[in-house]
Amino acid sequence: MLFTVEQPNPAATAATQFNHNVVMTMVHGAQNIAWYASLDTRASLHLAKNINQISDKDFELAASDFIDEYNKSWTTASVDLGTMISRGGRIYFDGSTVELTAPLRDALQKLVERASRLLGPKAAHSKTIQDVAFDSAHMSARNKLAPSAAALNVRQRILSDVGVPLEFILPNYLTLFSGGVRSIQLGVVEAAFTADVVATYNPRNPRVVMRAGQAFTVTNGSPMIVDLPAVCWVVKVEAALGFAEEEAKWLADVMVGLLRLSYQGNGHRYPNTGDVEPHPWYWDSGQRIGVKYTGNSVQFGGLYTPAAYEIDSATVTMANASAFKAKADLLCNPPSGSVAERTSRGLGWLTRGRQSLDKSERLLHHFTAIEALLSTDDKSAPVVQTIARHAAAIWTSDNTQRLEFASVLKRLYNIRSSLVHSGNRSALENNVKLIQIIAENLYREVLTKVDLKEKHQTFCNNLQRCSYGIAWP
């Protein structure tokens, strides 16, 4: 279920109002419901592109073909509904009908494919591109624009409106606050008491009122009431609307990974090595499910305490330090080709590994994190040998211990290769825990000893040199 409640901007014209609305949207799925608001700061969006910055003949042709087929499919005549559905469907607009003919569907698909290449993976959400393309075509028809102007409008709208900056507000079941702490900021990700968050956001749109409650629920009415649990996440996302939760989840995973490796607390629910870390915003009831039979013996149910990160004053002091804030901001928006870019990727995969229930998945995700940090762009370099040598150089300065460590990592890598290449789920629990320990400690070393702005290739060259017996870093 998707609800959208718009607070109109009276100063905006009909042609430009879409770009200036403050849109408050609630996404309700089977397991999760969230709230987010698009910001009236379109000019600051990195994903948004100006049509004058894009010169792509295939995109221009695709937009023109789409408008041509759209205009051909426009009809005010009465068309048999059954016939229209059998031919692909229809769209109603201003009392008229646009039949989704085969040529129109084909033109739309080509437009979506070309726009997706230009927008990239964060913004290229097919359904959103389709919706924007049709909305733009409808507006052009209403304003009686010439086909060339309508095609230009479609291109501009796709490039500027598909990706919107969002502040995504989600339930938070992964962090606990103690000692009077009410929030912690980790780059673009904030964990905070819901009561404090809603005091900031509710004035934006009086038609939607958020409250701190027990769980996420929506009550229809005027205003609409949205209840959130006592603690929530606020994640600043730049992505297409359809990808907002995916991107928010990744950013949260990256920052939770940084928090874990920098953790200053000693909470009793801290997720230890091998523990399954809960999803950051899906409720974990702590109830084991199912019935197990062993002969006539029966086991069922049971309770457990879900893991969580306790945020105390020491942790907040650490997170508020200028060096940590700069590091978190850098990891949320890393320069291309930098150590920060690889570290950011790896932190996300470390968190995905901890969240995985399956041992083989945990091992695979932790190795993905190690490869993200230590693999090079040199396709001729032996992958396993390179990663083992680089990891050993970080792990210790003792050459004998480096040799032993590299041998252990190669043995674990063989298990990973057997999983990837032949689907062999033979990962033992102790090996899975060991690779988690190795991966997390490698990242701790890099986070504390390496300038994350450094070029990743320079970082790898230094490791290669140190792997021949020189101390690192």
State pLDDT tens for residues 139-150: 888 888 999 999
Q: Supply the pLDDT for residue 127.
A: 81
Higher-confidence position of 244 and 319 = 319
Convert the pLDDT of each residue in 200-239 to its tens digit.
Answer: 999 999 999 999 988 999 999 999 999 999 999 999 998 7
Q: Supply the pLDDT for residue 84.
A: 42
What 8-state DSSP symbol labels residue 321? S
Average the pLDDT over each of 3-7, 67-71, 209-213 and give the range with the smallest value. 3-7
Whether the predicted pLDDT of 4 surpasses 70: no
**Quick check: 413 and 384 in contact, CB under 8 A?**
yes
Q: Please, what's the b/e burial string for 250-286 (b: 16 or more CB within 10 A of its CB; e: otherwise)?
A: bbbbbbbbbbbbbbebebeeebeeeebbbbbbeebee
pTM over the 0.85 mark: no
The candidate with the shortest Cα–Cα distance to 441, out of 350, 368, 358, is 350
Residues 6+ apart with CB under 8 A from 163: 45, 47, 48, 119, 122, 123, 238, 239, 240
Joined together, the tokens standing for residue 428 give: 């033992």
Average the pLDDT over each of 73-77, 110-114, 334-338 and give the range with the smallest value. 73-77
Q: Which amino acid is at 357?
A: L
Instruction: Say how far apart CA 454 and CA 470 lie, in whole Å.
Output: 20
In this structure, the strands spanning 297-300 and 2-7 are unpaired
Whether the predicted pLDDT of 435 surpasses 60: yes
- Which strand (E) or helix (H) includes residue 232? strand 231-240
Whether the predicted pLDDT of 65 surpasses 60: yes
pLDDT band at 73 (very low <50, low <70, confident <90, very high): confident
Helix axes 339-355, 244-261, angle to 10 degrees: 90
Joined together, the tokens standing for residue 198 give: 């809603």
Convert the pLDDT of each residue in 288-345 to its tens digit.
Answer: 889 999 999 999 888 999 999 999 999 999 999 999 999 999 999 999 999 999 999 9
Is the Cα torsion angle 444, 448, 450, 454 positive or negative in sign? Answer: positive
In this structure, the strands spanning 33-38 and 291-294 are unpaired
The gap between the terminal CA atoms of the chain, to the nearest Å, is 52
Higher-confidence position of 40 and 276 = 276
Q: Supply the pLDDT for residue 118.
A: 87
- In Å, what is the CA distance from 462 to each residue of 6, 94, 444, 466? 53, 65, 18, 6
Average the pLDDT over each of 51-60, 66-75, 227-236 and give the range with the smallest value. 51-60
Higher-confidence position of 343 and 47 = 343
Tell me what the pLDDT averaged over the chain comes to: 84
With H, G, I as helix, E, B as strand and everything else as coil, classify residue 219. Answer: strand
Whether the predicted pLDDT of 31 surpasses 80: no
